[in-house]
């Protein structure tokens, strides 16, 4: 019974991964999306997540809402254009961008070396830390303790690649579609640990206090950037100064307060590869 | 964090209309394609027979998930903008054409040879033979497997969630990521699919019984 969905997920991963690899070479050289061109057409389409609250979730009217959506709103306002939000998922966001279905992504997209081969990143505009989470009783102190341990992660996520980078070969990784199903896997005991952010930890602590989930070690401090197609350097440059102005005016901190009920830590510097 | 309230459950249930609409679209599209494939496959022109054979093998031999992903992302490469809805309807229609084509080819070929021969003896040409003699008989034979495939198709629409089309399954995923109540949410989703598919299965069973009686 459980094999079939996993098979589908794997297929989906292969299909989307294949698309992501093939697309840059094939993609039509569309007229670059520049700030001027966007102003002329009076509209910008931005890919956001809807299944990753509070960064990108939905409000009570089931419309996209969250930290990313607020940033996108201000960005459209600064450009003086209408905002069109396009819901994307973690695994399909690169194909959406590269096949011109969106102008840019504001989708809690961690800046990594691999991804920067395919897309152009802005400077970080949000950040979070991912951990290996497990019940207090589980004895995990560092990556080497993961030998033979079943660890759940959301596929195509940065915690997935970060885990693969540090974990010993004997780790048994189970990849799920998103954070909710990853979380479910530790609740129902299919995995002994998961890789996830502090947001997930807060949800687990609130909903399932009896599991006594705690962070075991840090996987990765993740800096998130907006993402653009390779040729859209002008839009990237414009967005960088837009992010700087948000930080300067304290607007970004207010968005952070609204969604995380806490002031924002200083943004990490742009990762260099 | 959100709690799972009536609003969220209604959102999921309302998304079932997209599941139904998508199934209907795919079934209509698949019927048109399926009848063409069935006629080509059972016809007398060799090239068309081979084309239909290749088409059926291609779509039956690749996963629906791949077909949907390709239908969504490949047109974009050539600068044709398809939305998730169009891509899902197209992908599922092509998929349904292959399966319905094969089902209906079988139904056409089951009609006894003698029916063709005697209608030919009456001076009927191919199209009249098909329309007046063969298809009416094939139609009855085809109903149970066709309805059975329709049930598969309804469940297959859940794969459209991979390209971001918000139908029943995708709506549930989104709500689940906001509320973290997977058992309740996917339980409701499972029951909804069941409520859609079970009447169809029951209808197909009944037709099968009726047919068995009629041909005894």
Chain A contact set for B182 (CB, 8 A): 180-181, 184
Cis peptide before A54 (omega within 30 of 0): yes
The H or E element spanning position B11 is: helix B6-14
Q: What is the mean pLDDT of chain A?
A: 88
What is the reported pLDDT for A20? 57
**In angstroms, rounded to a whole number, what is the distance separating the alpha carbons of residues A253 and A269?**
17
**A122 interfaces chain B, CB cutoff of 8 Å:** no
What is the reported pLDDT for B29? 97
pLDDT level of residue A17 (50, 70, 90 thresholds): low
pTM of the model: 0.78
| Domains in chain A: ranges and CATH | 32-128+222-260 (3.40.190.10), 129-221 (3.40.190.10)
Structure tokens given for B59: 């779509």
Structure tokens given for B181: 């109540």
Residue B163 included in any domain: yes
Residue B1 included in any domain: no
- Out of A88, A89, A180, name the one closest to residue B180 (CB): A180
More confident residue, A227 or A62: A227
Instruction: Give the range of the structural domain holding residue B50, as residue numbers without chain letter.
Output: 6-214
**A145 interfaces chain B, CB cutoff of 8 Å:** no
Domain total for chain B? Answer: 1
Q: How many CB pairs under 8 A join A and B?
A: 86
**In angstroms, rounded to a whole number, what is the distance separating the alpha carbons of residues A176 and A10?**
9
The C-alpha of B59 sits at a distance from chain A's nearest C-alpha, in angstroms, of 16
Q: What is the mean pLDDT of chain B?
A: 91
What is the reported pLDDT for A102? 93
What is the reported pLDDT for A21? 54
Q: Which of B5, B174, B190 to mutate to test the interface with A (most CBs of A within 10 A)?
A: B174
Chain B contact set for A184 (CB, 8 A): 180, 182
Of chain B residues 126-145, which have a CB less than 8 A from chain A? none
Residue A220, beta-bridge partner list: A130
Mean pLDDT of B114-131: 93
Mean pLDDT of A165-190: 91
Tell me if B65 and A11 make a contact (CB, 8 A cut-off).
yes
Nearest CA in chain B to A15: B66
Of chain B residues 166-185, which have a CB less than 8 A from chain A? 166, 173-178, 180, 182
The H or E element spanning position B17 is: helix B16-42
CA angle B86, B87, B88 (to 5 degrees): 95
CB A191, CB A138: distance < 8 Å: no
pLDDT level of residue A7 (50, 70, 90 thresholds): low
Question: For B40-83, how does the pLDDT look when each residue is reduced to its tens digit (9 = 90+)?
Answer: 999 889 999 999 999 999 999 999 999 999 998 888 778 787 88
Residue B46 included in any domain: yes
Check which CATH number belongs to the domain holding B136 and give it. 1.10.3720.10
For the cut 70, the answer to whether the pLDDT of residue A8 exceeds it is: no
Question: For B170-194, how does the pLDDT look when each residue is reduced to its tens digit (9 = 90+)?
Answer: 999 989 888 888 889 999 999 999 9
């Amino acid at each position: 019974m459980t094999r079939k969905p996993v098979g589908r997920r794997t297929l989906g991963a292969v299909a989307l991964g294949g698309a992501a690899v093939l697309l840059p070479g094939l993609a039509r050289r569309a007229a670059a999306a520049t700030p001027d061109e966007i102003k002329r057409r009076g509209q910008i389409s931005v890919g956001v997540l809807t299944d990753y609250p509070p960064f990108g979730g939905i409000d009570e009217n089931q419309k996209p809402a969250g930290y990313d959506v607020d940033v996108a709103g201000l960005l459209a306002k600064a450009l003086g254009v209408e905002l069109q939000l396009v819901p994307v998922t973690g695994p399909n966001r690169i194909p959406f961008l590269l096949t011109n279905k969106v102008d840019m992504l504001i989708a809690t997209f961690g800046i990594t070396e691999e991804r920067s081969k395919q897309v152009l990143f802005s400077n970080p505009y949000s950040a979070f830390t991912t951990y290996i989470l497990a019940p207090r009783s589980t004895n995990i102190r560092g990556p080497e303790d993961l030998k033979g341990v079943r660890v759940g992660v959301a596929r195509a996520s940065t915690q997935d690649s970060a885990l693969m980078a540090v974990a010993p070969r004997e780790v048994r990784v189970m990849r799920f579609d998103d954070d909710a199903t990853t979380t479910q896997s530790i609740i129902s005991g299919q995995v002994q640990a998961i890789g996830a952010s502090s947001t997930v930890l807060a949800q687990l602590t609130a909903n399932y206090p009896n599991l006594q989930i705690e962070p075991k070690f840090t996987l990765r401090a993740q800096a998130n950037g907006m993402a653009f197609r390779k040729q859209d350097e002008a839009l990237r440059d414009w967005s960088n100064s837009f992010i700087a102005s948000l930080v300067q005016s304290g607007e970004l901190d207010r968005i952070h307060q609204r969604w995380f009920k806490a002031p924002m830590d200083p943004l990490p510097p742009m990762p260099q590869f | 964090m959100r709690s799972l309230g009536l609003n969220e459950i209604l959102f999921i249930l309302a998304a079932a209309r997209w599941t139904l609409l998508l199934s209907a679209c795919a079934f209509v599209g698949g019927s048109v394609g399926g009848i063409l494939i069935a006629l080509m496959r059972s016809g007398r022109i060799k090239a068309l027979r081979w084309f239909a054979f290749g088409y059926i093998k291609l779509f039956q031999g690749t996963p629906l998930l791949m077909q949907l992903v390709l239908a969504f992302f490949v047109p974009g490469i050539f600068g044709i903008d398809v939305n998730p809805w169009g891509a899902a309807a197209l992908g599922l229609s092509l998929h349904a054409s292959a399966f319905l084509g094969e089902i209906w080819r079988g139904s056409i070929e089951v009609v006894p040879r003698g029916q063709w021969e005697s209608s030919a003896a009456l001076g009927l040409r191919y199209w009249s033979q098909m329309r007046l003699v063969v298809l009416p008989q094939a139609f009855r034979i085809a109903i149970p497997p066709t309805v059975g495939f329709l049930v598969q198709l309804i469940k297959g629409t859940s794969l459209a969630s991979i390209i971001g089309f918000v139908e029943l399954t995708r709506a549930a995923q989104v709500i689940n990521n906001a509320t973290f109540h997977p058992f309740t949410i996917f339980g409701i989703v499972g029951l909804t699919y069941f409520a859609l598919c079970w009447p169809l299965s029951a209808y197909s069973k009944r037709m099968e019984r009726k047919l068995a009686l009629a041909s005894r």
